[in-house]
């Protein structure tokens, strides 16, 4: 029996359900000694057969209590050790509980199973501890940021929930990559994330959030072209301690309000850096025409996005350089109105994936007709209204 159970443990790997089913099947043939031998091999402790059966079944229930449903695979031994040490006290000396399994158990209990980030409960507890420490020393400044993926429900509906899960994992990786040493990221719920940025004021917090915003915008999430705006983006709201509050409730409430303001425009951060709002770029894949000089024929281009001050578009002409002046024509029915504008070339980039040349253009003048080319901004809902949701996107 010893060799048979050892083989079961080896072959089951992280498949706890397979192991549990195999142990139950073997116990039907050989009795409670199967549980006794399984516990001996897993914990190096020998229990009476009847007690071993009881501990085995209660440890399975303990695993289901301490680990979320999507993060239970491979956790049976960690749960078993925790049950015998913390619940029954059968293992009284924690030194015999293998450190690797204790660490596995600890991490699984404070992290989100899908993304690997800390979960909301741990984040709030850490925030409270940081505030308590600051109250005692008064020398720590930090920031809280709440982030939310824009139009994630639309992405989920059109690309599927598996793609949605992959997008959440990829976004979590982006957060981790762009954090500074000592900063903390958590999955706050659904498609919302939270950051705790140590020794950060408004400028430092904005810089971190902007790196994340830009990285998400440039990430090629599978299927994002099916969305109305063509890609998945993220918005963020920031609150700084002590300037914006000295309690967890106040800081999180203000960060949530700032996130609400950012979600009005989408793909933005609130409050803006130094009070200057970044021009919102509206994704728009449509036909534009451009000319190199007055009187010369217009050539076709494909717009990528447009803002109040400029346009990004792709073309096949690769001789353009920064500083050149172009004429741009927007025509119905591809645009709401027909109008001509001039713009300075500010950026030229060859796109390897499709061979186009991406041109970043700054408009010379901002006529009234330009306003008609942009999506209408949504009206902000009342912040005090009950059960508020984020305002609808500007499309």
Q: Does the annotation count 173 as an active-site position?
A: no
If we measure between CA atoms, which residue out of 327, 333, 231 comes closest to residue 284?
231
Q: Among residues 2, 128, 132, 191, which one is catalytic?
A: 191
| Chain centre to alpha carbon of residue 299 | 40
- The structure tokens listed for 372 are 């008609």
Contacts of 195 (CB under 8 A, 6+ apart): 143, 144, 145, 146, 147, 175, 179, 183, 184, 185, 186, 208, 209
If we measure between CA atoms, which residue out of 163, 276, 149 comes closest to residue 216?
149
Whole-angstrom distance between the N-terminal and C-terminal Cα of the chain?
A: 68
DSSP at 229 = T
Q: Is 265 helix (H, G, I), strand (E, B) or coil?
A: helix
- The structure tokens listed for 304 are 């990528």
Q: Is 108 helix (H, G, I), strand (E, B) or coil?
A: helix
Cite the active site residues: 191
């Amino acid at each position: 029996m010893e060799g048979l159970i050892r083989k079961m443990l080896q072959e089951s790997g992280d498949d706890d359900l397979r192991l549990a089913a195999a142990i139950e099947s073997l116990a039907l043939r050989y009795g409670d000694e199967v549980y006794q031998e399984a516990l001996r091999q897993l914990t190096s402790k020998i229990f009476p057969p009847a007690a071993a059966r009881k501990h085995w079944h209660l440890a399975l229930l303990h695993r289901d209590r301490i680990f979320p449903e999507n993060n239970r695979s491979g956790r049976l031994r960690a749960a078993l050790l925790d049950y015998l040490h913390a619940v029954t006290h059968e293992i009284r000396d924690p030194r015999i509980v293998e450190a690797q399994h204790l660490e596995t158990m600890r991490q699984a209990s404070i992290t989100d199973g899908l993304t690997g980030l800390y979960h909301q409960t741990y984040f709030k507890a850490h925030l409270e501890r940081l505030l308590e420490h600051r109250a005692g020393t008064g020398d720590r400044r930090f920031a809280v940021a709440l982030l939310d993926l824009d139009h994630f429900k639309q992405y989920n509906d059109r690309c599927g929930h598996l793609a949605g899960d992959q997008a959440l994992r990829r976004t979590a990786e982006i957060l981790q990559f762009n954090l500074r040493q000592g900063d903390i990221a958590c999955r706050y719920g659904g498609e919302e994330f939270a950051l705790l940025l140590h020794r950060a004021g408004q400028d430092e917090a904005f810089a971190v959030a902007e790196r994340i915003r830009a990285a998400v915008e440039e990430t090629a999430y599978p299927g994002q072209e099916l969305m109305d705006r063509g890609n998945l983006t993220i918005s963020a709201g920031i609150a700084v301690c002590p300037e914006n509050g000295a309690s967890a409730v106040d800081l999180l409430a203000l960060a949530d309000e700032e996130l609400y303001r950012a979600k009005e425009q989408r793909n933005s951060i609130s409050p803006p850096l130094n009070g200057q709002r970044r021009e919102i770029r509206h994704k728009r894949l449509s036909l534009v025409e451009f000319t190199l000089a007055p009187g010369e024929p217009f050539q076709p281009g494909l717009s990528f996005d447009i803002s109040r001050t400029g346009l990004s578009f792709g073309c096949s002409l690769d001789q353009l350089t920064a500083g050149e002046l172009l004429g741009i024509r927007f025509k119905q029915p591809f645009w709401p109105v027909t109008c001509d504008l001039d713009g300075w070339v500010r950026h030229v980039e060859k796109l390897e994936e499709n061979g186009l040349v991406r041109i970043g253009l700054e408009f010379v003048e901002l006529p009234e007709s330009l306003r008609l080319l942009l999506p209408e901004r949504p009206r902000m809902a009342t912040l005090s209204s009950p059960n508020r949701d984020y305002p609808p996107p500007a499309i």
